[in-house]
Amino acid sequence: MTTPQDLIATLAEMGDSAKAAEMAAYHKTYRVFLGVPAAALDELARGLRANLDLPTRCALAQDLWQGEVHEGCILAAKLLTQARIRPDDAPVWTMISDWAQGFDSWALADAASIAGAKRLQAAPARLDEVEGWTQSANMWTRRAALVMTLPWARLPHPKAEDLAVRDRVLIWAEGYVPDRDRFIQKAIGWWLRELSRRDPDRVVQFVEGPGAALTKGAKIEALRLISAQ
């Protein structure tokens, strides 16, 4: 039987103390860093997803996320990153949305947002819940609303309902424009940059209109691919 303790021990064996020190200095959170490479975490997660049933993975993920090991939290998110889950009313989305209320760094927020994005794509009605995050006191929760909806910015052939989601998220982004936090501004720029691959005119309209007060860096990021053409 695989336990959270077993997985933390495995991660510790895979770690590198020098890399761990670099990561701790960079992220500046209270968590313990082991220095495990991202590729190694991906490989470990793939094996666990292939060999463990969903209830077991959910239980492991919850325990790992509640721990204080950075790589354990990243692994928790990767255990739940899956395009199709049957049934999709399993507790995966509930767990991720609960985690989102306590995000405390971009690395953990982004890892969980990748898993969360797949659950939103599977059931777009969950966007109603995510819209509430845009008013959260937690900056990382507000930011996650944009990161989890990135797939809609990237769709090559959006349907009418997909275009409606884009419009909705751009309204959220408009509400974020006055927020000077650099991670919020970067998230807006990131979302717009991805949208510019599919709808550059809409991005220019946003930057010149409701996004006119974006920071210089956010504007550069939003228009980077357009400017390179």
Q: Rounded to an integer, what distance in angstroms lies between the CA atom of residue 44 and that of residue 159?
A: 36
Q: Rounded to an integer, what distance in angstroms lies between the CA atom of residue 181 and that of residue 162?
A: 28
Domain count, the chain: 1
Q: Tell whether 110 is covered by a domain.
A: no
What pLDDT was estimated at residue 90?
A: 75
Q: Tell whether 190 is covered by a domain.
A: yes
Q: Tell whether 220 is covered by a domain.
A: yes
Over the chain, what HEC string results?
CCCHHHHHHHHHHHCCHHHHHHHHHHHCCCCECCCCCHHHHHHHHHHHHHHCCHHHHHHHHHHHHCCCEHHHHHHHHHHCCCCCCCCCCCCHHHHHHHHHCCCCCHHHHHHHHHHHHHHHHHCHHHHHHHHHHCCCCCHHHHHHHHHCCHHHHHCCCCCHHHHHHHHHHHHHHHHHCCCCCHHHHHHHHHHHHHHHCCCHHHHHHHHHCCCCCCCHHHHHHHHHHHHCC
Query: Which amino acid type is present at position 66?
Result: Q
Question: Does 107 have pLDDT greater than 90?
Answer: yes
Place of tokens 């969903």: 54
What pLDDT was estimated at residue 1?
A: 66
Domain coverage including residue 216: 149-229
**CA-closest candidate to residue 188, choices 227, 150, 136, 132:** 150
Q: Tell whether 28 is covered by a domain.
A: no
What is the pLDDT averaged over residues 189-205? Answer: 98
Read off the pLDDT of residues 9-41 as tens digits, 9 standing for 90 and up. 999 999 999 999 999 999 888 899 999 999 999
What pLDDT was estimated at residue 228?
A: 81
Q: Tell whether 71 is covered by a domain.
A: no
Read off the pLDDT of residues 129-178 as tens digits, 9 standing for 90 and up. 999 999 999 999 999 999 999 999 999 999 999 999 999 999 999 999 99
What is the pLDDT averaged over residues 66-81? Answer: 97
Q: Rounded to an integer, what distance in angstroms lies between the CA atom of residue 72 and that of residue 191?
A: 28
**In the chain, pLDDT over 70 holds for what percent of residues?**
100
Question: Does 229 have pLDDT greater than 80?
Answer: no
Question: Does 60 have pLDDT greater than 80?
Answer: yes
Q: Tell whether 2 is covered by a domain.
A: no
What is the pLDDT averaged over residues 194-216? Answer: 98
Read off the tokens for 64. Answer: 């790992």
Residues 192 and 203: beta-carbon distance below 8 Å: yes
Q: Tell whether 226 is covered by a domain.
A: yes
Q: Tell whether 178 is covered by a domain.
A: yes
